[in-house]
Structures are given as structure tokens and as C-alpha cells.
A and B are shown apart, each in its own frame.
Chain A
Amino acid sequence: MSTKPALLPLLDSHGISRRDFTKYCTGLTAAMALAPAMAPRVAEALERARRPSVIWLSFQECTGCTESLTRADAPSLEQLILSAVSLDYHHTLQAAAGHGAETARLKAMAENAGQYLVLVDGSVPLGDPGYSTIAGRSNLDILHETVAGAAAVVAIGSCAAFGGLPAAAPNPTGAVSIGSLITDKPVVNLPGCPPIPVVMTAVIAHFLTFGRLPELDSLGRPRAFYGDTIHDRCYRRAFYDKGLFAKSFDDEGARKGWCLFELGCKGPTTYNACATVKWNGGVSFPIQSGHPCLGCSQPDFWDAGSFYRPLSQPWGADGHLAANAVAAGIGIGVAAGMAAIEAKKRAAAERQPVTLADLEVKP
């Protein structure tokens, strides 16, 4: 474990009281869907945590996930907790560079073998390793080397969790998710573009409190945060149920805050906590700001059709296809009609009249 000071003294030094810390832990406990009685245990675990070493690997990514976590206007508790859990390697945040940085990673791995967490943002290019390298080594090499002695892996953001934007068609780099490469360690996915900061710290807090990762869904996401769809938790849901929809971004419905389904909202298919936890300290989230959900925490969200086409609208058929189908129908319909008329005429011409003699029973 790291020799850096524990969390509480660090919070003290930033003017965050124990009361604030306790409130935060209670909120975190609720967010993780744990019993209220667990709040003191979460606080105790975070207080006592000697900060397991965290190694943050950045591959094919945009640094948006790090920005989400660290670039708040004021230092957030999430940010401080992340800082307190001993971030021993992070391209954007560490002071060391070059060989010094790589040495820090190897040292942290050696000193905390079997106990450190690996956080990864970004996907790994398999098509050509040269698309993304660190110190001249491929992302795949560094991932396997770093994960070998890890306790668990956290794939942060949609790129790490599902391939994300780099894996969007035609996927020029052959980008793949972290979970598809790591099969011998627990992997938790925290998708989102970017993910919600409290989701990242909650998973770390859960690990510190219970020594294991939280319960996951079929896509490896914590159920506590990804158990419900945006649609199910959306404050505009009542308008959906009433059949009241905004048809454009500036119509009466939009001004009255009606449902954004017809403007392409992906809330019904998107599992995330945006509608409850929200962003920027609980101020708002995209739908509250008047924009449909893009579905960024779902696999293949970039290739799942237009952001602004309603979920229920297919896109396979266009006017060209319809015109061709109708033209073919007219052509073959006329031909079938002509054939039927000809068959009728032929039948009339070939008809053998039935006489009474034909109907008589012959001995």
C-alpha cells in the first residue's frame, strides 16, 4: 500500500469537515443501493483506507473521462478521494514523464502485487498496434503486463467498456474493449461518454469497503447505477405517458418541457444514472437541458442510427426503395392481370358445353 496520508487528513487540509464527509458517504451508500446501515462502514473504510495503488492506463481515448472526474469548477470530493486512493500512474495527472513515469508504474505494480486496481480509459487497437503506443510499446502489451498482478480492472468510459468511438464503423484501428481482452481478472465496466464522476468513486469506495466489486449486470456494469433506464427515471416521463411530445427544438412542446422521444431521445434503451445523479454537482443532465439522450453508455451508441431519429423509426426503407417496389408491383400486377384475362378467354374458347345426354346416368 502507498505511504501517502490517509483520506481524512487530506480532506481536512482542503477544509472539508467530517460532517461533509459523512454526508458524502451517506449519499454514496444510497447511490450504490446499499442499506442505510452501511453508511458508517463506507465512511470507516474510506477513512482507514491506506489507499490501494491505482494505476490508470489511457489508450485510445480523448481524456474526457479524466476531465469529467477532475475538471470540476471547485475541487470535488470525488476528485479528492481519487487523489487519496493513491493514483500512482496517470498520463494526464502525474508529474513524472518518460522513463520516470514508466518506472513509477512498474514500482507500484511490484510493491502492491495482487492488490492494486487498474483503471483503463480508451480502447485497444488490435488492427495495427502503431495507432496507439506508450513509450514505444503497444497498448495491448502494456495492458497485459499491468493487469497481470492486479486485483481487478475498471474499464472507465464507453471506449474502454465497449470500444466506443474508436470502434465505430469502419473501426479503422481494430479497436476493442478491455473486457474482451481480460478474461482472468474481474472487470467492471463504467460506460458513458464520459461516465458520471460519482459512479467511478462509488466503485472504488465499494472495493475499499467490501474488498470486492459491486453486483454487475449482463454488460458488466454496476447494477446500482446502470439498473434503470434514463427513460424510467426521467422527470419528463409523465409527458411520454400522456402522449405529449416536442416535435422540434423550438416548438411549443419543447418550451413546455414535453418528452423528447420524437427528437431522437435514446432514454428508453439507455441504462445510466444521469436522470437521478445528474451532472455538475446535481445541477442538470442533457434531457433537463432540452437535448435528447444520445445513449452514450450503451454498446455501439455511435453506430446505432441518427441521434435525432426517433427510436421507433426504422431507416431501412427510403423513397427510392419504395418507388422501385411499387413500380415492380405495377409491372408484375399488369402482367398477372393480362395473363388472367388470357386464361379466361382460353377457357371460354375451349369450354365443352354440357348436354343433357352427358348428365344422364348411363347403364
Chain B
Amino acid sequence: MSSTALLLWAKGPGFAFAAAVFLFGVTLRVVEMLWLRRRPDRSVARGSGALQGLRTVVSRFLPAPGLVARSPVVHVGGMVFHLGLFAVVFLYGPHIAAIRGMTGLDWPGLPTGAIDGATVLTIAAMIVLLIARSKDPVRRLLTTGADHLAWTATLLPLLTGFLLVNRVALPFETLLAVHLLSVELLLVLFPFTTLMHAVTFAFARYYAGAIAGRKGAHS
């Protein structure tokens, strides 16, 4: 198969399959979760559950006081990884062009050099976090094969994207095809692995905040 044919497959049938699995899987997981509902709380509310729920969704982007000092690698590494990943995925011109073409949404991006730097930092943070995880006996015990799969599926698009932008080893067309295939692997795995937390985090934080808020606690 030529690199052109591989690219055409990755952009056409390959992406169609991956997008269908992604949308189907994410919808299924969210609908199933919402369908289960929570047991109604019949007590008199002492505060606004909804308001506290929404505040918690935002406030927990920052670590609680003291936590950074207790485990700096996890918190600083985690912050670098998540911010870097967000910038690489959503603020790179060609990615914005792809999203604009599919949804009509558009926003300004960052220069290629900034994205390149963010990619390096993100990959470095992933490696540091993996090492830290492997050295901690408790987290090592909690880590499963599915976690390593999610880690690998996240690393591959970053790595192939970096090689693509910097034209390392292979022609652009081949690298673009490989990059797209790695993104498609990520999309397929997303709903059925811990990667799904990129969607469910909002629900989890809202529930936690709403329960506390209803009892009169502030997030």
C-alpha cells in the first residue's frame, strides 16, 4: 500500500470508523450513567446544590491547599501534562482547521514553535509521571494493563505529531497517515478506558459539589 493510499484510508474509512466508535461509545457511557440517576434526597436543602456543583467543576482544576507540597511530581507533572495536551490538541492551526472543517467552529491558534515546545513538555511530563507511578508501591498496585494502554494511546499521537511537524525519518505524507491512525486508535479506545475521564470528570465533580452544596458546604 502506498503512503498516499494509506493516508486516504486513514482520512476516509479509518476516520469514519473511529469517529463512529468514539461518538457511539461516549454517548453510551454518558446516557447509561445518567439513566442510573441518584437516589432522591428528601432532606431540606441548606444550600444550592446546582450552584455548588458547577463551582466544583471549575474549582477542582486547581489542587487543594497543601497537596502540591505533599506530592509535587504528581501535581506539577499532571498540570503540565493536561495543559500541554489541551494546547497541542486545540490550539494548533492544522487541528483547528480540521475541527473547523467538521463542525464550523473556529478560534485563533498558537505558533508552531509554541506547540512544538508544548508537545515536548507534555511527553516529558508523561514519562515522569509514569516513572513516579512505577516507583510508588500503592499506585503500582492500582495500575492495570488498561492504564498502560491508555498511556500508550495518548503518547502515540503526541509522538507522531512531533515527528510529523519536524519531518523526522519519514516523508510528510507517511507521517501524516501514521499520525491520523494513532489519533484514530485513541478515539476508539477513549470511551472504554480511563481516558473517558476527560468527559466524566465534569459529572463526577458536579455530583460531589452538588451533594456537599446541598448540605451547606462550600466547594
Contacts and interface: CB of A to CB of B under 8 A. Distances in A.
A333 B27 contact: yes
A314 B35 contact: no
Interface in A295-343: 298-300, 303-305, 309-317, 321-322, 324-326, 328-330, 332-334, 336-338, 340-341
A316 B2 contact: no
Given A334-B31, A337-B36, A328 B24 contact: yes
Given A247-B106, A317-B102, A262 B97 contact: yes
A171 to B, nearest CB: 14
Given A269-B176, A317-B20, A325-B20, A240 B11 contact: no
A262 B100 contact: yes
Contact of B4 (A229, A304, A312, A321): A304
Interface in B36-84: 36
A71 B102 CA distance: 43
Interface of chain B, main secondary structure? helix
Which of A298, A309, A329, A330 has most B Cβ within 10 Å?
A329
A243 B110 contact: yes
Given A330-B27, A333-B31, A341-B36, A314 B94 contact: no
B30 A333 contact: yes
Interface string A227-267: 00101100000001111010100000000000001100000
A322 B172 contact: no
Interface residues of A, number: 44
Nearest to A268: B172
Contact of B13 (A242, A309, A316, A330): A316
Contact of A337 (B23, B32, B97, B100): B32
Interface residues of B, number: 53
Nearest to A298: B4
Nearest to B2: A299
A314 B15 contact: yes
Given A316-B12, A317-B15, A329-B26, A245 B176 contact: no
A217 to B, nearest CB: 9
Given A269-B172, A311-B176, A316-B11, A326 B98 contact: no
12 contacts: A242-B112, A262-B93, A268-B172, A269-B7, A269-B176, A305-B11, A314-B98, A314-B180, A316-B14, A324-B20, A330-B31, A333-B29
Interface of B: 2, 4-5, 7-8, 10-17, 19-36, 92-95, 97-98, 100-102, 106, 108-113, 167, 171-173, 176, 180
